[in-house]
Amino acid sequence: MATELTDDLTMPVPGELAKAARRRRPMQSFDEPTGAGRLGRYALLCVVTFLVVFPIYTTVVAALKPGSEVLKNPLVPTTVTFDVLIEAWNEGRLGRYLFNSFVVAFIVTVFQVVTSVLAAYAFAILEFPGKRIAFLLFVATLLVPAEATLVVNLDTIDGLGWLNTYQGLAVPFLATAFGIFLLRQVFLTLPRDLRDAAAIDGVGHLGFLRHVAVPLVRPTIGALALFSFLGTWNQYLWPNLVINEADMNTVQSGLRLLSRSSLSQPNLVMAGTVIAAVPIFVALFVFQRQLVRGLTAGAVKG
Amino acid sequence: MLLPSAVILGVFVLYPLGRAVWLGQQRCDNFGNNCVSQGFGQYLDLFRSTEFQNALGVTIRFALITVPAGVILGVGLAVLADKYLRGIGVFRGIFSSTVATSVAVASLMWLFLLQPSVGALANIGWFNSLFPSVKSPGWLQDPDTALWAVSASSVWANLGFTFILVTAGLQSIPRDLHEAAAVDGAGGVRRFWSITVPMLGPTLLFVVIVSSTRAFQAYGEIDLLTGGGPQPTNPTTTIPYFIYGQNSPIRNDTGLQAGAAVLLFLLLLVLSGLQLAGVGRRVHYGD
């Protein structure tokens, strides 16, 4: 889990990239291609685009075709129909799976943010005996891959009677050393005087946290929330282990189920894949801007 | 304030790790009960077993294919798109787009692409006559190509992530460097090797670390594309799939499962040890 989250650290910046490219324009003249070089560059970009998009394209084409035409000409949407998408939503239960994934990812995100804020604050601002050792122990959990703990966690969740429940899917991931570490780093940058002044005014730690510290590090919290959400949403192995009731599947384990049960209907499976993919494509498109705005604002502030 | 995190991390990370280390020296019956201690030599036996050695070899091969391929393609795309051109933002958006695919989504897309009977490639006439093996036996079904096909899917799925990282790395290179070199008469190729590559060092190292860790944790793409097969040689059974997969020979033996999980943990520990020794902290947090 830990590594998955760190992976996502730099995820959603394509919008920023485009913006940066525009900003750079005046300095760019010395390596701005002209004439034939420019045409060649465009041609190359188009070829590469074709290759990168190809798997997505064939998927969408298949999802829009009726079963009788899937095998004919996979590159051309000969007949376009939304029936298969509707079928995947209803009979493939994709709607239900999306709902489950959303609930679990939402719970995990909220808890990861809260637990990380609290622990990070303790490690950054408070003084207590054994702090250094405790911190090392927390950070050490980053080195433990989820695969190493799932055997026992499955036992624990089973013992609690939480198989096939939201608790079972969410509870093992309600805290993350990655989040604690990330937020501790930004809390450490807050001026000591801020806390001292608040203390003189009689503001307790929780009050200071809520009214001063958290608002100041909001961009980082936003980033953490996005990574938590995506990390949970994309989990594959854990839902497969914990869930065996059809209705409790997440999108990922639900897709697996769909692909196993409908191998003879590739268009149905592809329709399910499209439905599962669209929310995250949209979310990344929407949130990339907010996140980038937040991150750049944070950079200006401090 | 530490309590909530401490409880969760203690119960669901540290305790299971410790317990797995203990369970790893036990053998259990077919239902995962009546476990009997075998002594810690069992770890050695497990490590030496044909099945684990196969999984280890597959995992290493998978990493050796996907990591360099991912880095080269990611850098290639990023450099290609690192020019001021009208509409370059659109291309960048497209190149980043695979970051939005989960392992299940990406793998099913590739499953449909590569499936020998109903798949897309097999039903494109000219492609099929160019590469008859896509239909018979099928790239995922042929033991010689299965791991390559899974790797292709995996590299594609991670391409967006690599592209974004490398593009950010490229943009942090001061333009003056390129400009000065250009004034001195250095061409594009020369500038790529003398400026871009060295300046990208930390980014590339980070990409390598992340993608090799991912390679060692590969499960979803294996499960959906090959199920660890084709049988009987299991050329795509990675270590995680060996532990948790449907056809795993140790699926019902909690002791052996835990043992293999601990071995995987140790392997990743060695891997991160090498990374830390090689690069220090800067690379992890710089971008």
Q: d(Cα B142, Cα B135) in Å, to the nearest integer?
A: 11
The set of residues, in sequence order, having a beta carbon less than 8 Å from that of A6 and lying 6+ positions away, is: A142, A178, B210, B284
Tokens of B77: 């795309």
- Nearest-Cα residue of chain A relative to residue B117: A71
B149 has a chain A CB within 8 A of its CB: no
Q: What average pLDDT score do residues A131-139 get?
A: 90
- pLDDT, residue A23, reads 52
pLDDT score recorded for residue A243: 93
Using the predicted structure, report yes or no on whether residue A236 has a pLDDT greater than 50. yes
d(CA B185, CA B179): 10
DSSP 8-state secondary structure symbol assigned to residue A190: S
pLDDT at B33 over 80: no
Size of chain A in residues: 302
| Residue given tokens 């509409």 in the structure block | B87
pLDDT digits (tens, 9 = 90+) for A256-275: 999 888 777 888 899 999 99
The answer to whether residues B237 and A27 touch, using CB atoms and an 8 Å cutoff, is: no
In B, residues 32-71, which contact A (CB 8 Å cutoff)? Answer: none
Q: Rounded mean pLDDT of B16-25?
A: 89
What's the average model confidence in pLDDT over A67-85?
81
Is pLDDT at A14 greater than 90 in this prediction? Answer: no
Q: List the single residue in B94, B112, B156 with the smallest CB-CB distance to A269.
A: B112
Closest residue to B123, CB basis, from A71, A115, A150? A71
List, in sequence order, the alpha helices (H) in B81-196.
88-96, 103-114, 125-130, 146-171, 175-183, 188-191
CB-closest option in A13, A18, A59 to B168: A13
Over range B122-149, report the average pLDDT: 85
The CA distance from B42 to B52, in Å, is 13
pLDDT in tens, A245-254: 888 999 999 9
Which residues of B, range 181-240, sit inside 8 Å of A by Cβ? 182-183, 188, 210, 213-214, 216-217, 219-220, 223-224, 239-240
Compute the mean pLDDT over every residue in chain B, rounded to the nearest whole number.
86
CB contact under 8 A, A48 and B164: no
Q: Is the dihedral of CA A54, B203, A146, A162 positive or negative?
A: negative
> Cα–Cα distance between B200 and B220 in angstroms, integer?
30
**Between chain A and chain B, how many beta carbons pairs sit less than 8 Å apart?**
288
Amino acid at B155: V
Q: What is the pLDDT of residue A293?
A: 44
Residue A163 binned pLDDT confidence (cut-offs 50, 70, 90): very high
pLDDT band at B155 (very low <50, low <70, confident <90, very high): very high
| Residue A296 confidence (pLDDT) above 70 | no
Flag whether the pTM goes above 0.90.
Answer: no
Backbone torsions φ then ψ of B27, nearest 5 degrees: -120, 145
Q: pLDDT, tens digit, for every residue of B256-273?
A: 899 999 999 999 999 888
Find, among B169, B156, B80, B1, the residue nearest to A187 by Cα.
B1
Helix ranges restricted to H, A9-162? 14-23, 35-63, 83-90, 94-125, 131-140, 146-159
The tokens 């090959």 sit on which residue? B226
Contact B133, B45 (CB under 8 A): no
Where does the pLDDT of residue A7 fall: very low under 50, low under 70, confident under 90, or very high at 90 and above?
A: very low
pLDDT given at position B280: 54
C-alpha A252: how far from its chain's center?
Answer: 13
Find the range with the poorest average confidence among A7-11, A186-190, B102-106, B174-178: A7-11
User: Averaged over A157-171, what is the pLDDT?
Assistant: 94
pLDDT of residue A30: 59
What is the model's pLDDT at position B87?
81
- Whether B2 has its CB under 8 Å from any CB of chain A: the answer is yes
Q: Is the pLDDT of residue B141 over 50?
A: yes
Q: What is the pLDDT of residue B31?
A: 62
The proportion of chain A whose per-residue pLDDT surpasses 70, expressed as a percent, equals 84
* CB proximity B268 to A under 8 Å: yes
Note the pLDDT of residue A33: 65
Mean pLDDT of chain A: 82
A43: which DSSP letter? Answer: H
pLDDT over 70 percentage in chain B: 94
pLDDT of residue A90: 87
Q: What is the pLDDT of residue A19?
A: 57
pLDDT score for B287: 37
**Per-residue confidence (pLDDT) for residue B32, from 0 to 100:** 61
Chain B residue with minimal CA distance to A267? Answer: B112
- Across the range A70-82, mean pLDDT stands at 81
Average pLDDT of span A179-183: 89
Question: What own/partner pairs with CB < 8 Å and gap ≥ 24 does A16-23 have?
Answer: A16/A288, A16/A292, A16/A296, A17/B89, A17/B92, A17/B96, A17/B164, A17/B167, A17/B168, A17/B171, A18/B88, A18/B89, A18/B92, A18/B93, A19/A292, A20/B171, A21/B84, A21/B88, A21/B89, A21/B92, A22/B89
B119 and A266 in contact by Cβ < 8 A?
yes
Residue range B201-258, pLDDT digits in tens: 877 887 888 889 899 999 999 999 998 878 888 899 999 999 998 888 888 788 889 9
* pLDDT recorded at residue A88: 87
pLDDT (average), residues A171-199: 89
